[in-house]
Structure 1
Amino acid sequence: MLFRMKDEKAHQLEAELDKLQADGPAAWAKLPEEELFTPAGFSEERAEATSYSNYSYWGSTFRAFFKNRVAVLLLVALIAVVAFAFLQPCLPGQADPNLCAVDPATGIQYRNIAPGEKGFIWGSNAIGQDLWARIWAGARTSLTIAFFVALIEAVVGITVGVLWGYVRQLDFFFTELYNICDNVPSTIILILISYVASPSVQTLILGMSITGWIAMARFIRNQILIIRDRDYNVASRCIGTPTSRIVVRNLLPYLVSVIMLRMALTIPAAIGSEVFITYIGLGLSVEVPSLGNLINDGRKVMMQAGLRYQLLYPTIILSFVTIAFYLIGNAFSDAADPKNHLQ
């Protein structure tokens, strides 16, 4: 019944419209004004209202990341390990990592005590130092080196990469600089820096960062070249938008995913470099605990079955940190890609 009434009303309106069209403009002029037009009224709120999208880049990025349960669990575990490494000295009952514990009854050092015995959670080394304290102190040292190296490489690499890719006049200079630095092995530079300067945390950071930014810069440059001359960037230049604003608002947001991935991979790479340089005898001095020193010490006793724990525990910490950063970096890189934000 309802549909029938609507059809009749529609036919009636069509008939009236046909009649008005047949009668011509004079018929329209005879109609009262209130039947021709209906005042819409004025609303200040509706006049100022604009359409908008509720899309949020970072909101979509984090939603996509938290859907990856493995990455989230690894992130929680990694945060817990890193936080504990830096908070461990503040906890009660923690030993000095460089203290050589001595048995008060015999006056002999607690050498190579097995884990869990005589108060040593992870055992002791050949001179009675607590491995629990030394491993967490070593993790702090290695993570500090890795974080600073990643930060320096990101800042320098992104800055140089953007200039290299966006400013055409600088392309030749940075290309030649890249060719020179890329042909010199980073291991040679790290060894030379360790020889010239005294072994220290600052020396390792300098040695790893002096050419480490080259790979980041070249990668950013290639990405900038792809998106530099897109329509919206050309339009921005035509209306006089400053270069700094174009870089910050138009270019870098497209590179967040690759930048995060490169930084996440730099941290385990820096820890691996510290372990390597210590392994060949050019790393930190023995009184400075680091994962490299601990793994090097454990390597010397790995053939003795009862002492393999001295290599096992620092290797577990190193392996977990390295794998966690790699997997989390890949997961966040995928989540930060706008192509994966489509529902």
Structure 2
Amino acid sequence: MAQHDKNFSKDMFEPAHIDSAKSEEISKPSLNYWQDAWLRVRKNTGALISLVVLLLLTIMAFLGPVISGYDSAAQKASQSNLPPKIQGLENISWLPFDGMLERKNGEVYDVYEQKQVDEYHWFGTDSLGRDIFTRVWKGTQISLYIALLAAVIDMVIGVAYGAISAFYGGKVDNVMQRITEILVGIPNLVIVILMIILLGPGILSITIALTITGWVTMARVVRAQVLKMKNQEFVLASRTLGAKDNRLIWKHLLPNLAGVIIINTMFTIPSAIFFEAFLSFIGLGLQPPLASLGTLIDEGFKVLQLYPTQMIFPGIIISLIMICFNMIADGLRDALDPKMRD
């Protein structure tokens, strides 16, 4: 007993003193909705890596043509179908940047030396002698421009249409939904062909074709969310206090739909890029001298067996763009959609 008395004093069994003033203190700073969402996005390694890669690709889309020093439309028949060749990497045999090609009999030869070309073409040249590195980044510019423009138009039209349809309901909703059902029943390819016949092939016709029916999905998602929220307490309270319809939609409903709108827009962009590439691949896209990633893939596909790099490089770029957008959209969905939170 004496040993236990030495180790444990009576003071150790006294009740702890708790300061009631500090019992409700918040140890961490309070976060708003967007700050909390950003913390969740930061935990998603795939989304962060995709964001960095997408930023690098976007920067290269504008700096690439400047770095190369070549004009994307300049033709040099004497330099046609050159393989890739990069300074400093040309002496590394296991990399495909040495300017060498293999003949049918298995013999390897230096194409640049044979054609007496002293310049370097990092991604090689096409059948008309145009620098593929420059054309790939010019094509990336156009593909991103068409996709972003179509996505923004889809978002604006879809959000406005869906919110108005759900908010007013009744006959307004019935009429507006019948219109969307008609548009959904029309194949996109038919609309594209009609636009090309009326306006001719080009950026304008592709953009209009993408936006005629592209906003329907956004409108339906927004309509469903507005129908669910318009009878909730915070909306009814604001209406009771005399808020007009415009204020209810723009100040109360749409801010609560921001996460859903952003997620659907992010998923729309890769779909638009793929659709534009598909149109260009089947010959309904942009016409020379304009080039998108789809037209470059189409041109490279025609000479795939002889010069595979002409298709591989634009194929890698468009694949990276689509994967990055989808990964970022997945990360945003997990961060912004309450149902997906851990």
Report the TM-score when normalising by structure 2.
Answer: 0.79
1:260 maps to amino acid: I
1:199 maps to amino acid: P
**Which runs of structure 2 are paired with 1:90-169 in the superposition (5 Å)?**
90-91=66-67, 93-101=68-76, 108-116=77-85, 117=99, 118-168=119-169, 169=171
Counterpart of 1:240 in structure 2 is: 242
Seen in structure 2, the aligned counterparts of structure 1 residues 159 and 2 have a Cα distance that, compared at 3 Å, is same
Aligned 8 A contact 2:64 2:133 in 1: no
Question: Which residue among 281, 284, 288 is the counterpart of 2:283?
Answer: 281
Question: Which residue among 258, 269, 272 is the counterpart of 1:270?
Answer: 272
Aligned 8 A contact 1:61 1:341 in 2: no
2:146 maps to amino acid: I
Q: How far apart, in 1, do the equivalents of 2:179 and 2:13 lie? A: 82
Distance apart, 1:339 and its partner CA: 5.6
Distance apart, 1:86 and its partner CA: 1.9
Counterpart of 1:223 in structure 2 is: 225
Q: How far apart, in 2, do the equivalents of 1:155 and 1:98 lie? A: 35
Question: Which residue among 156, 175, 181 is the counterpart of 1:179?
Answer: 181
Aligned 8 A contact 1:286 1:293 in 2: no
Q: How far apart, in 2, do the equivalents of 1:5 and 1:274 lie? A: 75
CA deviation profile, 1:228-278 (whole Å, cap 9, x unmatched): 111221122111122222223322233222211211111111111111111
Seen in structure 2, the aligned counterparts of structure 1 residues 112 and 338 have a Cα distance that, compared at 3 Å, is same
Q: How far apart, in 1, do the equivalents of 2:79 and 2:65 lie? A: 21
1:209 maps to amino acid: T
SS of the aligned residue for 2:257 comes to helix
Pairing 1:212–2:181 present: no
Aligned 8 A contact 1:227 1:251 in 2: yes
Q: How far apart, in 1, do the equivalents of 2:180 and 2:324 lie? A: 31
Counterpart of 2:313 in structure 1 is: 313
Q: How far apart, in 2, do the equivalents of 1:74 and 1:122 lie? A: 24
Structure 1, unmatched stretches of 5+, are 7-52, 102-107
1:321 maps to amino acid: I
Judge which range, 53-62 or 189-198, deviates more: 53-62
Distance apart, 1:5 and its partner CA: 11
1:317 maps to amino acid: I
Identity rate, percent: 32
CA deviation profile, 1:286-319 (whole Å, cap 9, x unmatched): 2101111101101111233xx0111100000000
Distance apart, 1:2 and its partner CA: 7.2
Counterpart of 1:11 in structure 2 is: none
Q: How far apart, in 1, do the equivalents of 2:252 and 2:143 lie? A: 36
Number of aligned residue pairs: 287
SS of the aligned residue for 2:305 comes to coil
Q: How far apart, in 2, do the equivalents of 1:300 and 1:2 lie? A: 89
Pairing 1:72–2:74 present: no
Counterpart of 2:204 in structure 1 is: 202
Q: How far apart, in 2, do the equivalents of 1:85 and 1:3 lie? A: 69
Distance apart, 1:114 and its partner CA: 0.7
Structure 1 runs (4+) greater than 3 angstroms displaced: 1-6, 338-342
Counterpart of 2:63 in structure 1 is: 87
Structure 2, unmatched stretches of 5+, are 1-9, 16-28, 86-98, 100-118
Aligned 8 A contact 1:191 1:277 in 2: no
Aligned 8 A contact 1:60 1:341 in 2: no
Report the TM-score when normalising by structure 1.
Answer: 0.79
Which structure is larger by alpha-carbon Rg, 1 or 2?
1
Counterpart of 1:14 in structure 2 is: none
Counterpart of 1:250 in structure 2 is: 252
Aligned 8 A contact 1:100 1:109 in 2: no
- The structure carrying a bigger helix percent of its residues is 1
**Which runs of structure 2 are paired with 1:28-43 in the superposition (5 Å)?**
none
SS of the aligned residue for 1:59 comes to helix
**Which runs of structure 2 are paired with 1:2-21 in the superposition (5 Å)?**
none
